[in-house]
Chain A
Amino acid sequence: MSISRRDLIFLSSCFFLSEILRGQDWTDAIITEEDKNFPPKEARFYKKLDNKRIECNLCPLKCRVADKERGSCGARENRGGIYYTLVHSRVCAAHIDPIEKKPLFHFLPGTEAFSIATPSCNMWCKFCQNWEISQFRPEQIPCKYFSPEDIQKIAVKYRTPTIAFTYTEPVIFTEYILDICALKEKYKTRCVSISNGFIEEEPLKEWIKYHDAIKIDLKAFNDKFYEEITGGNLKSVLKTLETIKKNNVWLEIVVLLVPTLNDSKEEIKNLCNWVYKNLGKDVPVHFTRFHPTYRIKNLPPTPVSTLEEARNIGLEVGLNYVYTGNVPGDKGEKTYCPKCKKIIIDRYAFQIISNDIVDGKCKFCGKKISGVWR
């Protein structure tokens, strides 16, 4: 019997969870998709229309969904005119990761995040690294039930200061996130999301109330790429970035450079200029390396030289913190003081080698470094 890629993902998820929940019985890990195991919850952010139809107001797709149908994400279903989320408490991946893996480089460096995902996504990026869980419907993926309280308790038990919503797309499990976040004062945890930023304003405002940091994937700086490669749109994501920044939630940006599709010097320069002008010079931007996968297998991995060039463009534009990603050992994965230019956080891949930020300032010259340091 052969093991499919999906089986492999499930098994590794089980392994990671078993690492977390050592000593617990795992015989019930493979579960059925019956509703009784994952009771659907009425969604927030939707409008009722005539003939039992609804309009979803969670993301800019604003899906109009007839009875018994699902929105584009596949995670929400109209049942008799009431819209339900099918992914509340339905966890398909869980792991304890270094916060650097998110990547969040200016948020509690050297700490860990209890990271979870539920199935599905509101985009369909052709280069998705996690497509085996993001591009399937909830019932097509083995999951385990974890209530919001369970998630908080696991984070506390394993002393991870942060809970990260990641791997797939947190936007589509917003209700679950908000319920977990509502308990963060009680358990003294922090919450971060790793998102595509393709979200409507009303739910984003709710996110902002509770989040300590958000990392947004800015997939490209051209509409065509968003339309043809991701199923989203640039304008909405830029609006999300501005809203997060305006509301003082810690923000970092990742740009995955895909050879020939979004890696022209001109596009990178336009992107950096936009960030500088609209978000300021202190928002970290990570240019990360693409690896062929899912529906884009015909392109090579991003050359390291392209990433370095992108980083140089960002620095020339005036951004203070520009990184290269997915290239362990590259000089672009370290944090440099914008004033004295010394290395203040030395990293190798997701590991911290040294941290010379003291009380949020450069140990060498005293320059204040933007971020959340404790």
Chain B
Amino acid sequence: MNQPDLRVTIGGLVFKNPVLTASGTFGYGQEFAPYVNLHHLGGVVVKGISLAPRRGNPPPRLVETTGGMLNAIGLENVGLDRFIAEKMPYLREIGTRVIVNILGDSLEEYQTLAQRLSEVEGVSALEVNISCPNVKKGGVAFGTDPAMAEAVTRAVCAGSNLPVIVKLSPNVTDITLIAKAVEAGGAQAVSLINTLLGMAIDIRSRRPRLANIVGGLSGPAIKPIALRMVWQVAQAVKIPVIGIGGITTTEDALEFLLAGATAIEIGTANFINPRASQEIVEGLARYVTDNRLAGISAVIGGLVLS
């Protein structure tokens, strides 16, 4: 029997299947090698990289909530130089696409990251985390203002010949406005959603459970919100949408594809089941075969409304 065709195209790049791993939940790939055949995945999105290393937030950084978890890791990462020197040699050999998630404090930092990473062999695309505060503009997050989101997209696209995916924050009133802005700024795709801001309190000590007070909610609890936003954005833009948010099973992944996502990213599920991403690839293959579809692309945007 022929292998089912799971290929999808984003920003001119062909991915062998639509299953990627979400930044910050899959380390630099190597951490999952004992559990997953990395080359079976559509791609690996690595932990967000800044120009200089970042320490991240003080602990406690993590708390479990009903059907989800809150994190305030604070973008801890090894920084660009060590990423290129220590992590890329391994990533070049994993046999799938490597997408580097980037983050910065200023337009200049984003652009420099884009320029430097464009010259690195083995990087397939950039994913831009715009949920960070713009230090030079009073700390307002790039991702919550359409004009700033567009500006950061332009800065990255000007600095790079790689396909640029912009990762959208859900902590806005109308995510389609941000999606349209980054499309206008030259993004080849959008990925959504990043985590939802949340909070948890220890009633005995009356203290917040996170040292950072607030953190990002992820996991199955956020899936309906993510799915709704993916569907809205898929209507609003012409560029491909990558769906993220609580995807834990093949059925979850199919929902996002039906809502209009061209690909999906597996996040918190990697923590619960380190083999989740590979199992979802296998599940999508079975779905295509069992339903005698020409390929997974026959599912994308297949939501029936009437």
Pair from one complex? no
B interface with A by C-beta (< 8 Å): none
A interface with B by C-beta (< 8 Å): none
